[in-house]
Structure 1
Amino acid sequence: MEITTIDTASVAERDRLDFWRSTVCDQFVTLDVRPAAGSDVRGRVTAVSMADTQLRKIAAGAHHFERTTRQVRTADEDYFQIALARKGRTLVAQDGREAVIGPGDFVLYDSARPFRFVTAGDFEYSVCLFPTRLLPLTRAELTAATAVRFDGRSGVGAMVPPLLAALHRLDAESLPPASRTAIMQSIGDVYVALVRSRVDPASSPNLHLLRAQAYIDEHLSDPALTPAQIAAACAISVSYLHKLFSETDTSVGAYVRERRLQACFADLARPDCAALTVGAIGARWGLPDSAHFSRAFRARFGVSPSAHRARSVG
């Protein structure tokens, strides 16, 4: 895995501001980059990539970074990101919330919506950019977890600093494709754990919803699975079933489709499923129409099932 370091010291002083702004936008996402020092900017970015995951270290003086609505609308890819503070203090704002992080703290933030970072002085971050399309999380879940300070020294947050440190040292090119895919899935699992740790502990889960989700997971292979069948198995009305899922910012059909596509995504990357055709994997998870499965998979993950398999298992 090639490591690239970009430093403003490598260009003439008169060119540094434009060079720095271009570097930050190229290596992260498009942003308004306003260093407090003006044209006399000093900054360094170290970049590592592994499959669809982008890992970055950035160090510079006091800055104001802001992603605008216009920049969001023109983006080719959305990333859900972790920013771990190594040095300095930073105000992070998104989705109507503000958090201040210092060394050892981190925040989650979403490139699909405007955000703002304001540093109090010199800073250093480790940043992980993970494609949002690969996360089995609802928009409501993602929004609830942004601009919230996580402590990287305790609880579920303690997983993040050693994970990012290890990824920066990992020689991914020496690993088999299936191993790289497994690492990607593990990173995604950490994101899911972080986001879902933000659920209000005072709000108890609806047992009817949990039963419905469990029934769906047990019957994903049935292409004829319907809301009426799910509701009957849970001894509730179809209208109440729809109400339960709408309260989680999704629908019954969307939940079933997401669970099926996630199962297919995992199986296509498994070496022990290599003997199965793409169509067979779709069928085993309740998607027997190969053309429909391929379209739905590409729409969800931005790549065809066969291309995902080739990239994952070689």
Structure 2
Amino acid sequence: MSNSLRSLSTTGLTPKTQVQYWTDALTELCGKFDVDPLGASSLEGHINYTTVSRLKLCQIEASQHRIALPNSRVRKAEHPFVKVLFQTYGISHFEQDGRRIELMPGDCLAYDVSGPHTIISPSLTRHEVVIVPTELLEERGFHSAKMPVCKVSARTGTGRIVHDFVHAAFGEAPRLSPSTATSLADTLIDLLLLPLREVGTMSDRSGPAALYLKAQAFIRDHLRDPELSIEQISAALGCSKRYLHMIFSDRGMTVSDYIWQARLQNCRQELEDAQGKTITDVAFSWGFSSSSHFSRVFRRYFGVSPSSILKVQHQHHLAPDALMKQSVRTFRFPSA
């Protein structure tokens, strides 16, 4: 998808065709809506938009009008987006789920586009808008269907930081490489979620921290399975592999690192218990498929061989703490 700047405008069109053109312009962005110029003789509208990976960033200016997604037109497949709208000029009135919200310059509104809603702008308005596919939020453990409309301030705090970032991203988008655009989009989504989390719009029970805890629990429960993989974990937790990688890398390790570290620590504990098991018994019981491979990574991680652990336990003359000499942080775990 190109990230070049595109422009749509009703200027120069006859009043009769302006409404249809504006309807088509909105459809191209995020789905079909009913458009009403509220009795005005014309609808003067301008949209500049670009893409950053799968996000759409828009600057919209329009004379008085009303757009609506009525119940009769609700089909989620046509509007699978969450819209984050920054009011920069004029006043608008938003209605959804029985709530009526007034938007003034400096206000930010986040809402599920797929639900019935109405936006009325009684005079000239300008908006900066980010259109986010709902599946990108679901990858982060959020579900738009559970997200009520939320108004926050973009004048101060995280709201202002997000708006400034969005504004800068819009200007630089045409110059971004595809890989940079993807990274920028990930950062932008996380920033957009910050003010929403602060006001409790999106429950932390399904946020990154909660998902990390769930992943830890799943790994502990399946640690002895030699087939344990990130594909298996992400499928069980209902998130993407990419998002799972992200929440672990934010904590300084990969998913594979975490699995190998947990296995090695459990192996060492069993060896220190010295209950008659051989090194091969212990290695295979914790998901290793080769005793030589196990011995090699064990020595790299702990700085001693597994056989020396067994010897120590039999002789009872070497303190276990003396065996821990190598920093875990410098160790990179091999793939299974």
TM-score, length basis structure 2:
0.60
Number of equivalent positions: 239
Q: Which position in structure 2 is the counterpart of 1:46? A: 48
How far does residue 88 in structure 1 lie from its aligned partner after superposition? 0.7
Instruction: Name the CA distance, whole Å, in 2 between partners of 1:210 and 1:126.
Output: 27
Partner of 2:214: 216
Decide which of 72, 82, 85 is 2:84's aligned counterpart: 82
Distance in structure 1 (CA, Å) of the matches to 2:217 and 2:242: 14
Which residue of structure 1 lines up, in the alignment, with residue 265 of structure 2?
Answer: none
8 Å Cα contact 2:52-2:182 kept in structure 1: no
Instruction: Kindly state the Cα deviation for residue 194 of structure 1 after the two structures are TM-superposed.
Output: 2.4
- Report if the CA contact (8 A) 2:30-2:79 is conserved: no
C-alpha separation in 1, matches of 2:145 and 2:79: 19
Determine the C-alpha separation between the residues in 2 that align with 1:45 and 1:193. 27
**149, 154, 157: which one aligns with 1:155:** 157
1:112 positional shift:
2.1
Name the structure 2 match of 1:22. Answer: 24
Cα distance in 1 between the residues matched to 2:122 and 2:46: 18
The offset of 1:255, in angstroms, is: 7.8
Deviation readout 1:149-196 (Å, 9 max, x if unpaired) = 211111221123212211220144x43433211111111102321221
Give the 3-state SS of the residue equivalent to 1:216 in structure 2: helix
Shift of the 50–14 alpha-carbon distance from structure 1 to 2, 3 Å rule, reads same
The question of whether the paired residues in 1 share the 8 Å contact of 2:134 and 2:143 is answered with no
Contact 1:37 1:61 in 2 (8 A): no
Instruction: Describe the superposition over 1:85-129 as per-residue Cα deviations: whole angstroms up to 9, x where unpaired.
Output: 111111112233221111111100111211111113111111110
2:14 is aligned to 12
Task: Rate the CA distance shift 1:142–1:10 in 2: closer, same or farther, 3 A.
Answer: farther
Pick 1 or 2: higher relative contact order, CA cutoff 8 A, min separation 6. 1
Cα separation, 1, equivalents of 2:208 and 2:30:
38
- The 3 A distance-change label for structure 1 pair 256 and 64 is same
Q: What RMSD, in angstroms, separates the aligned Cα atoms of the two structures?
A: 3.8
| Structure 1 residues 213 and 40: CA distance shift in structure 2, 3 A | closer
Residues 166 and 188 of structure 2 are in contact (CA less than 8 Å); yes or no, is this contact kept in structure 1? no
Q: Per the alignment, in what secondary structure is the counterpart of residue 74 of structure 2?
A: helix
Residue 139 in structure 1 maps to residue 138 in structure 2 = no
Residue pair 1:72, 1:111 contacting (<8 A) in 2 also: no
* Structure whose alpha-carbon radius of gyration is higher: 2
**CA gap 1:193/1:39 in 2 versus in 1, 3 angstroms:** same
Q: CA deviation at 1:49?
A: 1.4
Return closer, same or farther for 1:224/1:134 CA change in 2, 3 Å cut-off: same
Picking from 123, 129, 132, the partner of 1:130 is 132
Following the alignment from structure 1 to structure 2, what is the Cα–Cα distance between the partners of residues 210 and 4?
Answer: 35
Provide closer, same or farther for how the CA distance between residues 17 and 210 of structure 1 changes in structure 2, counting only shifts above 3 A. closer
* Aligned mates of 2:61, 2:179 — CA distance in 1: 33
In structure 1, runs of 5+ residues without a counterpart are 226-252, 268-272, 274-279, 285-314
- For residue 237 of structure 2, the aligned residue among 256, 275, 296 is 256
TM-score, length-scaled by structure 1: 0.64
Contact map agreement 1:90 1:117 (CA 8 A) in 2: yes
- Which residue does the alignment assign to 1:191? 192
Q: Residues of 2 paired with 1:161 and 1:170: CA distance?
A: 14
Deviations 1:214-264 (A, max 9, x none): 543335556827xxxxxxxxxxxxxxxxxxxxxxxxxxx988333756215
Identity of aligned residues (%): 19
Residues 71 and 187 of structure 1, relative CA distance in 2, 3 Å threshold: farther
Q: 1:46 offset after TM fit, Å?
A: 1.1
